[in-house]
């Protein structure tokens, strides 16, 4: 198989001032990529903008002999997403990979969640992934190559308490990625998702209560640098025949997630009534109903 080199490739990593994005940007540069380090400097909730930590990441890449530039534009608006892509094209002359990593959290139990908590999370995660991908699509199409790496989450794939906004956005990203993979395969463009298990500022925002405390302590052992190698691989030519997939990375474990498909079916030649649904369909299918479980219950063993 071809080596997972990013030599002479240009990569945008959104939300790369800290955490998982920072580690991806650094490893991309270590493998030869020219990197646009995009970060607004916002807090976990998307507020309180400060001097961007992207500057530190860029200086670190340059001190190691790499090439990088800072972008402080938000992914959550179409004009600013276009400016992020323009930063790659203007500074490096091309674009080969977009890592849609930027994200915020505004956790709240569903029946207390407000539109002000719903909309910004959807805007950054889902709309931001669309805006960035669409802004890059024309360049990818013209050069007949390119890779998208999107961050999803088991909060959507499996489920979690108090994250309806985040879970909905992350499931939407899976649909977006698959659509990109289908629509752009003819141009040699691929699109994949990573569901990362790692300690970050966002995970650190999980409410501190006895039920979550043990889970958080386990997550602290899963460092962001463990996610970066898979992102570099998916951005490289070594993954040129991999598209439309959903991977999970949990310390030294890698998971391939299934896509939603029918599990059982029943039929009645004469059609269905509410009564026969209750008396026939439900008993026939109940054993295959998905439980109301959450990510900690599905991934119940300690990370390896």
- State which CATH number among 3.30.750.24, 3.40.50.720, 3.30.450.40, 3.90.180.10 fits the domain covering 10-256: 3.40.50.720
Q: Output the pLDDT for position 202.
A: 56
Q: What pLDDT score does 45 carry?
A: 65
Decide if 21 contacts 102 (C-beta within 8 A). Answer: yes
Q: What is the pLDDT of residue 3?
A: 76
Is there a catalytic annotation at residue 166?
yes
**Residue 190: strand pairing partners:** 147
Query: Which pLDDT score, from 0 to 100, does residue 199 have?
Result: 75
The predicted pLDDT at position 204 comes to: 54
Cα–Cα dist 215/261, whole Å: 30
144 with 188: CB under 8 angstroms? yes
Is the CB of residue 75 less than 8 Å from the CB of residue 38?
yes
pLDDT at position 50, please? Answer: 56
What the block records as the tokens of 66 is 């790499």
Outline where DSSP puts E strands in the chain: 10-14, 34-38, 67-71, 97-100, 146-151, 189-197, 246-250, 253-256
> Which residue in the list 92, 118, 148, 166 is annotated as catalytic?
166
- Taking the C-alpha atoms of residue 147 and residue 133, their distance in angstroms, rounded to an integer, is 10
Per-residue model confidence (pLDDT) at position 4: 79
What does the pLDDT read at residue 200? 63
Helices (H), strands (E): how many in the chain? 13, 8
Check residue 52 and give its pLDDT: 75
pLDDT score of 236: 98
| pLDDT values of the chain reduced to their tens digit, one per residue, 304 residues | 577 799 999 999 999 999 999 999 999 999 999 999 999 987 776 665 556 799 999 999 999 999 999 999 999 999 999 999 999 999 999 999 999 999 999 999 999 999 999 999 999 999 999 999 999 999 999 999 999 999 999 999 999 999 999 999 999 999 999 999 999 999 999 999 999 998 765 555 555 556 666 656 667 778 999 999 999 999 999 999 999 999 999 999 999 999 999 999 999 999 999 999 999 999 999 999 999 999 999 999 999 8
In whole angstroms, give the CA distance from residue 10 to residue 53: 20
């Amino acid at each position: 198989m071809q080596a997972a080199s990013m030599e002479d490739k240009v990569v945008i990593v959104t939300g790369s001032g800290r955490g998982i994005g920072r580690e991806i940007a650094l490893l991309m540069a270590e493998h030869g990529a020219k990197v646009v380090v995009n970060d607004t400097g916002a807090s976990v909730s998307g507020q309180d903008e400060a001097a961007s930590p992207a500057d530190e990441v860029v200086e670190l890449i340059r001190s190691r002999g790499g090439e990088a530039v800072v972008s402080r534009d938000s992914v959550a608006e179409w004009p600013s997403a276009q400016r992020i892509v323009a930063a790659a094209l203007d500074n490096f002359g091309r674009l080969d990979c977009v890592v849609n990593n930027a994200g915020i959290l505004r956790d709240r139990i569903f029946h207390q969640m407000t539109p002000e908590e719903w909309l910004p999370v959807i805007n950054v995660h889902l709309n931001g992934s669309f805006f960035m991908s669409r802004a890059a699509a024309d360049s990818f199409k013209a050069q007949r190559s390119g890779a998208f790496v999107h961050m999803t989450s088991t909060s959507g794939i499996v489920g979690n308490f108090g994250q309806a906004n985040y879970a909905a956005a992350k499931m939407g990203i899976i649909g977006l990625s698959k659509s990109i993979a289908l629509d752009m395969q003819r141009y040699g463009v691929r699109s994949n998702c990573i569901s990362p298990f790692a300690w970050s500022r966002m995970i650190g925002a999980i409410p501190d209560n006895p039920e979550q405390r043990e889970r958080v302590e386990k997550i602290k052992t899963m460092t962001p640098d463990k996610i970066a190698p898979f992102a570099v691989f998916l951005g490289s030519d070594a993954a040129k025949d991999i598209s439309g997939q959903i991977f999970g990375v949990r310390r030294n474990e890698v998971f391939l997630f299934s896509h939603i498909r029918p599990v059982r079916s029943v039929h009645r030649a004469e059609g269905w009534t509410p009564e026969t649904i209750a008396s026939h369909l439900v008993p026939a299918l109940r054993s295959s109903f998905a439980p109301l479980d959450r990510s900690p219950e599905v991934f119940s063993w300690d990370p390896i």
